[in-house]
Structure 1
Amino acid sequence: MAIRPPENWRAGMAEEARELAAGTLDPECAGMAELYPESLLRATDEALQAFERDLGALGEPSDDQAFDTIKHVVLRLNAIDDGSHSGGAGYDTGEREQLCEYIDETLTEHGVDVAALAARRGIGRADITDEWREW
């Protein structure tokens, strides 16, 4: 099962806290708590859970249904990234890549051939979120 990116981010925060406690990380180099406030983590988790539920409800989605589900999760993530739901925090390059990978993996786990889906729309596999993505 695809691991939701907030789980990775929480793990990174926990590792940083262990390093700080052990004295192996200079406090001036720590910043994960600022990058990943709980509001960002919670909102992102909720958006991805809704994506999973939406896909699960479709069974074997048509191309239009798959893209509609992608559009909805991307729009939810756009709203989170704008900072109004996440205390001003948002997604940087690493987070964007993890989110796109998660969307691809989750679609695949729900029986969607993502490469074929993208090809039928005349786009690359990595471009399935681009039409709506602002982050």
Structure 2
Amino acid sequence: MAERLTTNWRHGIAEEAEELLTATNAVLDAFEHELPGLGEASDEPVFAVVERFVLALNEVNDPTTAAPSKPTNEKSCAISSTSRSPSTASMWSP
């Protein structure tokens, strides 16, 4: 008897869900591990921990959106000008 497509989809989704849960738990474990060290810390270290946590969760959610470096304006302009296709270049022209 032929197997339904939904059976394969269900198995694939279950595997993806398990991977997502495992990765999310790893991020939560790392976050929880850092919390006790903050104690009476000032805002800066607290925000740094929260930022790492949020970026790590974003990475789990979409691995293709890893935290970008913070390029200078010149570097950003160079990247955007070289990545334009001829058909869209006019959209960026003043």
Greater helix fraction, Structure 1 or Structure 2: 2
Question: TM-score, normalised to structure 1's length?
Answer: 0.35
Q: Flag the structure with larger Rg.
A: 2
Question: TM-score, normalised to structure 2's length?
Answer: 0.49
